Amino acid sequence: MEQLRRMREMQYAYHRKFFHGLYFFLLLIIGCLLWDSPLSLALAPLLVITAGTQSCFYLHFVDFARIHARTMEERLNKTLGKGTLIGSEIEDLYFYPVDAPKIGGFVPTAPLRFFSFFTLHWIALWLGLAAFALWRLLPMMGPCGRSYLALVAFWGGLNLAYLSWFFSRREGLASIENFLRK
């Protein structure tokens, strides 16, 4: 029960970090847009990419805690001979199935679930802010604007490719789940 409590606390802590991170990056990016200098505008798209990657990092910890809590609940239910502890089952129904392949919080097999929509909402917001920064910045940059745009596209594409690959494989979470089942 103590391990289960710790995992639920960890889950809450990383949910909190996830949302605080979203709001922190949002304020930081809005500050860059309001400052309206070439340097702050150039920083905004890179902060958008970092915000997305950081959000996935925190969500990965939430998933770890969910998997650990699920294993603890299964063991306790087996020991008690009852199906009393059902938090993990409810989370799978309400948020997203923790075992489903996903990219951050977007589950391709369930794109209409609220968590997938919430993820798409933030992606659209981030991309809109990055596009606005680029729209303001590129006329100021002249010929080197294309190089900067290529750098941002490359860095964003590299992050997206890695996150898609990592989350779709579920290797890290599957190894934890296998370890806990032992």
Helices (H) and strands (E) in the chain, counts: 6, 0
pLDDT tens for the chain, residues 1 to 182: 888 899 999 999 999 999 999 999 999 999 999 998 999 999 999 999 999 999 999 999 999 999 999 999 999 999 988 888 999 999 998 888 888 888 888 999 889 999 999 999 999 999 999 999 999 999 999 889 999 999 999 999 999 999 989 888 877 777 877 787 77
Cα distances from 162 to residues 32, 34, 56, 90, 102, in angstroms, run 27, 31, 11, 30, 12
pLDDT the model gives residue 125: 96
pLDDT the model gives residue 58: 94
Name which of 12, 57, 19 is nearest 166 in CA terms: 57
Q: Which amino acid is at 1?
A: M
pLDDT the model gives residue 24: 96
pLDDT the model gives residue 18: 92
Cα distances from 91 to residues 63, 106, 110, in angstroms, run 11, 15, 15
Q: At a CB cut-off of 8 Å and minimum separation 6, what does 117 contact?
A: 111
Chain centroid, CA 47 distance in Å? 14
* pTM for this predicted structure: 0.86
Q: For residue 178, what is the DSSP state? A: H
